[in-house]
């Protein structure tokens, strides 16, 4: 039996995720969007690319949720992206209804699926998905940390002129400007990052990482980043389908870990076939823990705003 992945929202991130997944021959794919013809056209185009790369996956585009039935993974990317000057939290009102509908429609057709959420504001939309689907927290996870960490890795590689493969960086916290790049845990082929970069260069990289999404939004003028977010989702989908027990930063439901409760937040998680198998707790020093707390306060504020907005 082939795996089946449904992607809700066939816009820039949704269709690019389909592209990366199809290229890796990981699963049959269903793309759902409200715009008529668009998911059908994009999936037909993608399907016609498969003979060239020899990938035997079925790709279906539709406006009808019926085609998603029996999915192993549901990826939610439906919703508005930021415009220049907007914060991710500014998307809350518009995206809450979209994500709620996507979660309701998919969970009844795929009650055994694992849900991977991308829509912003990310941590709160992942929380909404868990509430609406009523799934156990292990089966709902948000994508943010792989992307934020990859941005930091790319900036370090550009600065040091070292292969990206040698650079490990870990960005935790909420997917907003208060995210927490952990410089003490990051390294270049085993050498701590703090020994490879002058303090001012490291600080510049940390700041650029925090604003990495906004930098792209202001360059693009319409829409936000999609190549890197989509490959980040692809890594999570692969880790789940292939039961890799892969440790990556992602938004997971906390029940006391890092001193935080009842919110989705970016922490290192172990991903496998059952979803979030484990949350890893780093030993943090005082300043790291207080930066995480500040980031959690920002997520909690948006979560409270959500709870005023929708009944869940
Ligand atoms: N978590 C992250 O790291 C991250 C990274 C990039 C983008 N995002 C977020 O992901 C979301 C999507 O970004 P994008 O660049 O793909 O935007 P996009 O505008 O290109 O695509 C969004 C798609 O959602 C569709 N849509 C809207 N309402 C729908 C509904 N009710 N049902 C089904 N489809 C619906 C739209 O028609 C559109 O095609 C945004 O909220 C963006 O902020 C998050």
249-292 confidence digits (pLDDT tens): 999 999 999 999 999 999 999 999 999 999 999 999 999 999 99
Q: Would you call the peptide bond into 121 cis, given omega within 30 degrees of 0 as the criterion?
A: yes
> What's residue 311's pLDDT?
85
Are 42 and 16 in contact by the 8 Å Cβ rule? The answer is: no
Query: CA 118, CA 133: separation in Å to the nearest integer?
Result: 16
Can you give the pLDDT at residue 254?
A: 98
Asked whether 122 lines ligand 1 (CB < 6 A), one says yes
* Vertex 174: Cα angle to 22 and 71 (nearest 5): 30
Average pLDDT of 124-130?
98
Nearest 10 degrees: CA dihedral of 58, 274, 252, 71? 30
Counting Cβ atoms within 10 Å, is residue 178 exposed (0-12), middle (13-18) or buried (19+)? Answer: middle
Told to judge if 245 belongs to the known catalytic residues of this protein, a careful annotator would answer no
Instruction: Write the DSSP assignment of 256-292 as a string of letters.
Output: SGGG-EEEEEEEEEEEETTEEEEE------HHHHHHH
The single-letter DSSP state of residue 156 is: H
Average pLDDT over residues 3-12: 98
> In the predicted model, is pLDDT for residue 153 greater than 90?
yes
Using a 6 Å cutoff on CB, does residue 266 contact ligand 1?
no
- Protein residue with least CA distance to atom 1, ligand 1: 118
Q: What is the pLDDT of residue 1?
A: 77
Greatest CA span in the chain, whole angstroms? Answer: 55
Task: Report helix, strand or coil for 102.
Answer: helix
Six token digits for residue 191: 């050498």
Distance (angstroms) between ligand 1 centre and the Cα of 30 equals 16
DSSP H or E segment with residue 80: none
Nearest atom in ligand 1 to 10's CA:
39
């Amino acid at each position: 039996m082939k795996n089946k992945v449904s992607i809700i929202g066939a816009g820039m991130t949704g269709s690019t995720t389909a592209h990366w997944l199809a290229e890796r021959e990981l699963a049959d794919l269903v793309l759902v969007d409200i715009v008529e013809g668009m998911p059908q056209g994009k999936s037909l185009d993608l399907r016609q690319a498969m003979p060239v790369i020899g990938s035997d996956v079925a790709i279906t585009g539709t406006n009808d949720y019926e085609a998603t039935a029996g999915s192993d993974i549901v990826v939610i990317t439906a919703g508005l992206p930021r415009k220049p000057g907007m914060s991710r939290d500014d998307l809350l009102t518009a995206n809450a209804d979209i994500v709620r509908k996507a979660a309701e429609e998919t969970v009844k057709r795929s009650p055994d699926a694992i849900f991977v959420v991308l829509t912003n504001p990310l941590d709160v939309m992942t929380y909404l998905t868990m509430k609406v689907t009523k799934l156990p927290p292990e089966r709902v996870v948000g994508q943010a940390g792989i992307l934020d960490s990859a941005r930091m890795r790319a900036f370090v590689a550009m600065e040091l002129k070292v292969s990206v493969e040698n650079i490990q960086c870990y960005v935790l916290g909420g997917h907003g400007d208060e995210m927490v790049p952990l410089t003490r845990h990051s390294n270049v082929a085993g050498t701590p990052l703090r020994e490879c970069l002058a303090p001012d260069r490291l600080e510049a990289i940390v700041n650029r990482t925090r604003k990495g999404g906004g930098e792209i939004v202001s360059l693009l003028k319409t829409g936000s980043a999609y190549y890197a977010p989509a490959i980040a989702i692809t890594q999570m989908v692969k880790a789940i389908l292939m039961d890799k027990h892969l440790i990556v930063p992602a938004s997971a439901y906390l029940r006391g870990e890092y001193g935080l409760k009842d919110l989705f937040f970016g922490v290192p998680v172990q991903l496998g076939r059952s979803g979030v198998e484990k949350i890893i707790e780093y030993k943090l020093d005082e300043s790291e823990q207080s930066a995480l707390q500040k980031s959690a306060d920002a997520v909690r504020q948006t979560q409270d705003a959500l709870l005023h907005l929708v009944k869940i």
